[in-house]
Amino acid sequence: MDRIPILRMGEFLLVTIQVDMHDQLALTLQDDLTAQITRTGARGVLIDISSLDVVDSFIGRMLGSIASMARLMNAETVVVGMQPSVAITLVELGLTLHGIRTALDVEKGMALLRASAAGRRRA
């Protein structure tokens, strides 16, 4: 069974979704990611969905719940590279993903994670 790879970069986890998401894959990702956060003690999760062209309400909701789960485990989630069509679809579906942080590309997302991690360390 195929899985979405989760890469570790310092104290952050990097997930790049490059295949069409189906429901089982999304659930597996949810399991894997939460397990990885515990194992590595990651402070941030970066999900790159720039090659995702189509979303449905399930995937949208899944992104939201991954973020909530990660926050419970003291890691912040940033979703980067959302396509315009995907953004429009999610808004039309009423899924505005409150509580998720977003960035235009991986670089900006990483900067965001680093800044917030630095802020938390200072606090």
Partner 1 sequence: MAVSLTHLPRILERHGDALLADWIREQLQAKSRTGAIKEGELREQCAEFLRLLREATAKGGTSDVSRPEFEPLRELLANVSRSRGVQGFSPSETAKFVFSFKRPLFMRLREELGRDAVALADETWAVTELLDELGLLTTETYQKTREAVIARQQEEMLELSTPVVKLWDGILALPMIGTLDSNRTQVVMETLLEKIVETGSEVAIIDITGVPTVDTLVAQHLMKTVAAARLMGAECIISGIRPAIAQTIVHLAIDLGNVITKANLADAFKTALDKRGMAQVPGR
Nearer to partner 1, 28 or 106 (CB): 106
Nearer to partner 1, 51 or 96 (CB): 96
Residue ranges in contact with partner 1 by CB under 8 A: 79-84, 86-88, 90-92, 96-97, 102-105, 108-109
Long-range own/partner contacts, residues 100-108 (CB < 8 A, 24 or more apart): 100/63, 100/64, 100/67, 101/76, 101/77, 102/78, 103/78, 103/79, 104/80, 105/50, 105/80, 105/81, 106/14, 106/46, 106/48, 106/80, 106/81, 108/80
In whole angstroms, how close is the CB of 40 to partner 1 at the nearest point?
Answer: 25
Strand stretches in the chain, DSSP E? 6-9, 12-16, 44-48, 76-80, 101-103
| SS3 category, 53 | coil
Nearer to partner 1, 38 or 51 (CB): 51
In whole angstroms, how close is the CB of 59 to partner 1 at the nearest point?
Answer: 13
In whole angstroms, how close is the CB of 84 to partner 1 at the nearest point?
Answer: 3
Nearer to partner 1, 45 or 79 (CB): 79
In whole angstroms, how close is the CB of 103 to partner 1 at the nearest point?
Answer: 4
Residue whose entry in the numeric block shows the structure tokens 């970069």: 9
